[in-house]
Structure 1
Amino acid sequence: MKLLTTEKKNQVLQSMINLLDQKRDQVIAGNKKDLDAFQRDDQALYDRLIVDDKKVDDMIRSVREVKDQDDPVGVTKSERKLDTGLQIINRTAPFGTIMIIYESRPDVTIEAAVLAFKANNKILLKGGKEAIHSNQVLVDLWHQALEENGLDKDWITLFTMDRQATQEFLKNPDQKLDLIVPRGGERLIAFVKEHAECPVLVSGRGNNFLYVDADADWDKTMKVILNAKTDKISACNALDKVLINKNATDLESRYKSLLATLKENGVEVITPDSDSSENGDIWYEEFLAMKILVDFVDDMDEAIDKINEYSGGHSTAILTENSEAAHRFMEQVDSAAVYHNASTRFTDGGAMGVGAELAISTDKLHHRGPLGLEQLVTNKYYVFGDGHTRD
């Protein structure tokens, strides 16, 4: 795809802002068809599917935020002149074509496209069948915004292929793919990694842990655990496991208080004496439900080892008033985001100041954490000489 000016890209985004506002009833009506067809057998998936006036406002805000951000393309990362006389400049450049495969969540159709387009990438959107009507309406609006500004519709493409056709496309794409981002559960990620022929950036798996240190403030601990678990169970940054230091003061009464509070708020608690906790597989499980596992550890080192073995590498928190302990814990835990005395629910592009996000990456290459506008570019070296040859 050709390089577009910042002005042209922002004109498209302004058109999209206007269209989302003008056609919000059309967007919500399309979403109602999806909601009516959904079987409600997966509450987390259903929650992600809903589009109402507030969600449309959120979509508009996402587009506006990206429009107002600096263009990430052509930014000089480094510049040096060598003794040979060569001048070498390293600048950011578009990836080319990015494909995102995701389940439910029509808002991804907005966020993925706006980020990819502002970073001058072509985007291929493969949404789930449960959101087909919502996604078709939103992509039609994208196409209107592009055509209003004299651009081809193929900057943003919606795929409606079934599983078999998707598998074949991943193995033998009919166009160049530079990056694929699967955004969903374990089965989706495994499917994409098995069949894709280009780089895959993994996103979406949580299984997040929180460690309660011996020096934790219990009022803060209760507040943070409750928020991290119950604020939004369908989010990949929701809390799944709690590890409590056995040396905490007044442990028995505080433990009973925690269990009672969680149960009062509708959370199923799996404890060390339950049959489920004996099943090793449950330690790897991302619940996406009103369910939490609470267990004890002898010390911080045991907590770190357990987290690094079982967690999804997404978000981990420590509750403690000991800043040195917090620092050591945060250095040793292998997660994309680590928290001290704060809820894991903040692992989100908007909440972390990144703005709209394509996904939360749990990979280490090329980026880890929220994939915002600045992360949807690669780099290119510009080398200037004057008849230089190498001996």
Structure 2
Amino acid sequence: MSTLLSIAKRNAVLSRMATLLEEERANLKAINKQDLDNYSGADLAMKKRLLVDDAKIDGMILSMQQLASQDDPIGVERFHFVHEKGMKITNKTAAFGTVMIIYESRPDVTVEAGGIAFKSGNKILLKGGKESLLSNLKIVALWHQALKENEVSENWVEYLNYNRTETQAFLEKPTQRVDLIVPRGGEQLIAFVKQHATCPVIVSGRGNNFVYVNQGADLQKATDIIINGKTSNISVCNALDKVLIDTNLNNWKSFTKQLIEDLQQHKVAVLGDQKVAAATGIPSIESDLIWYEEFLDYKIVIGTVDSDQEAIDKINHYCGGHSASIITENEAIAQKFMDNVDSAAVYHNASTRFTDGGQFGLGGELAISTDKLHQRGPIGLQHLVTNKWYIYGDGQIR
């Protein structure tokens, strides 16, 4: 959009959106039920992401309220310099312009990611999946109502109801300006966007997260963290897929057997590397390629390592660059692990399920980036900015 909206206008739209979501709660759930009834796929994770229930709506409302109360991320001075010729030179945060969000099956993205991009002074282009079309169109209608009631053009939030061919054509030759694209979904979606986009892309969404149980671990903590990471929500990118157990751990075999029993009680299918399979009788992995996989399912792989360095190397080789956790009571070993594992979020004695903009105090997230440019991990309001140089002179020439 050509003119930056005032922060008062942006906040008023977000606050109104929170109220409308509450007022339209019953309608939104009824419309979402139509999407759920139309969904014929067997993908359990997809179905969980598609559902809009009271808890999801509460989350949407909270994110709108939090965004409305946060400081303006635009125009924040990051650098100040007075030139020897007297010019005042400052660098300030600036809006990207137009942000396109392409996502699968998650109507809450239409609210939360859209809200973060809007608060950051951007026009929003939303391209949701066909399975959530009715829910998304209902939420976009609420966006338009909130904009209109605040005398702001409805063009600030636009829904692109495109099929795959139309989406590809738009990515390759956009019919309007697009400054940044954020794909949120599986690896196929990300690869598709990266292949066809003509502007910068922030890659978001791939997990394949690891927990390493070091020889100095508190085994109860380890068990609780692994069960939580794997079973509390299988459909999210911060869920746990891989466990590495230090063979220097006293009675590592009996601990591993007990852990497997606990996971199986939660209906998790457990596979092991050769050592774990031999020690416990669970099925062995067929190929090391499985270490690269993100499951989004009740499935986990448990393997062994003989040293901390082997754990670090294995995680860096196979993980998706999202989250990794070490369980140990040895703080020096934990710090070494955290400094050397190449992931966006590294944990000591905590579940990978916390990698989330809301949990990290950002008031929600646009995405969780596994790229290193221009921001890594959860991308909150304060990260969805570029910058601009302002130079104030009085006739200076060089």
Give yes or no for TM over 0.5.
yes
**Equivalent residue for 1:332?**
340
**Equivalent residue for 1:108?**
109
Amino acid corresponding to residue 42 of structure 2 in structure 1: D
- Whether 2:52 is the aligned partner of 1:44: answer no
Unpaired segments ≥5 residues, structure 2 = 278-282
**Equivalent residue for 2:280?**
none
* 1:267-346 to 2 correspondences below 5 Å: 267-273=268-274, 277-346=285-354
Alpha-carbon distance in structure 1 between the residues aligned to 2:374 and 2:113: 17
SS of match in other structure, 1:77: strand
**Equivalent residue for 2:244?**
243
Deviations 1:331-364 (A, max 9, x none): 1000000000000000001111111111101110
**Equivalent residue for 1:364?**
372
Deviations 1:300-355 (A, max 9, x none): 11111111111000000000111010101001000000000000000001111111
Q: Which moved more, 1:219-228 or 1:16-25?
A: 16-25
**Equivalent residue for 1:228?**
229
What is the CA distance between 1:84 and its match in structure 2? 2.5
Aligned 8 A contact 1:100 1:124 in 2: yes
Greater than 3 Å deviation, 4+ residue runs: 273-276
Alpha-carbon distance in structure 2 between the residues aligned to 1:241 and 1:258: 13
SS of match in other structure, 1:12: helix
What is the CA distance between 1:82 and its match in structure 2? 2.1
**Equivalent residue for 2:65?**
64
Q: Which moved more, 1:23-32 or 1:188-197?
A: 23-32
TM-score by length of 1: 0.98
Structure 2 residue corresponding to 1:374, chosen from 365, 382, 387:
382
**Equivalent residue for 1:385?**
393
* 1:150-165 to 2 correspondences below 5 Å: 150-165=151-166
Deviations 1:208-240 (A, max 9, x none): 011111111101000100000101000100000
Deviations 1:265-324 (A, max 9, x none): 111101114666231221110000010000000101111111111100000000011101
Alpha-carbon distance in structure 1 between the residues aligned to 2:364 and 2:331: 31
**Equivalent residue for 2:30?**
29
CA-based RMSD of the aligned residues comes to 1.0
Alpha-carbon distance in structure 2 between the residues aligned to 1:48 and 1:297: 34
Amino acid corresponding to residue 382 of structure 1 in structure 2: Y
What is the CA distance between 1:178 and its match in structure 2? 0.7
Aligned 8 A contact 1:276 1:282 in 2: no
Amino acid corresponding to residue 308 of structure 1 in structure 2: N
Alpha-carbon distance in structure 2 between the residues aligned to 1:315 and 1:14: 33
Alpha-carbon distance in structure 1 between the residues aligned to 2:223 and 2:48: 25
Alpha-carbon distance in structure 2 between the residues aligned to 1:87 and 1:129: 51
SS of match in other structure, 1:282: helix
Alpha-carbon distance in structure 2 between the residues aligned to 1:361 and 1:74: 24
Deviations 1:23-77 (A, max 9, x none): 1112111101100001141000000000112211111111001001101111111
Alpha-carbon distance in structure 1 between the residues aligned to 2:101 and 2:370: 15
Alpha-carbon distance in structure 2 between the residues aligned to 1:97 and 1:117: 9
Question: Identical aligned pairs, as a percentage?
Answer: 56
SS of match in other structure, 1:59: helix
SS of match in other structure, 2:100: strand
Aligned 8 A contact 1:266 1:290 in 2: yes
SS of match in other structure, 1:339: strand
SS of match in other structure, 1:277: coil
Amino acid corresponding to residue 338 of structure 2 in structure 1: M
Amino acid corresponding to residue 303 of structure 2 in structure 1: D
SS of match in other structure, 1:30: helix
The alignment of Structure 1 onto Structure 2 pairs a total of residues equal to 390
SS of match in other structure, 2:226: helix
What is the CA distance between 1:87 and its match in structure 2? 1.0
Alpha-carbon distance in structure 2 between the residues aligned to 1:136 and 1:195: 25
Unpaired segments ≥5 residues, structure 1 = none
Alpha-carbon distance in structure 1 between the residues aligned to 2:31 and 2:381: 28
Q: Which moved more, 1:135-144 or 1:31-40?
A: 31-40
- Whether 2:144 is the aligned partner of 1:136: answer no
SS of match in other structure, 1:229: helix
Alpha-carbon distance in structure 2 between the residues aligned to 1:339 and 1:235: 18
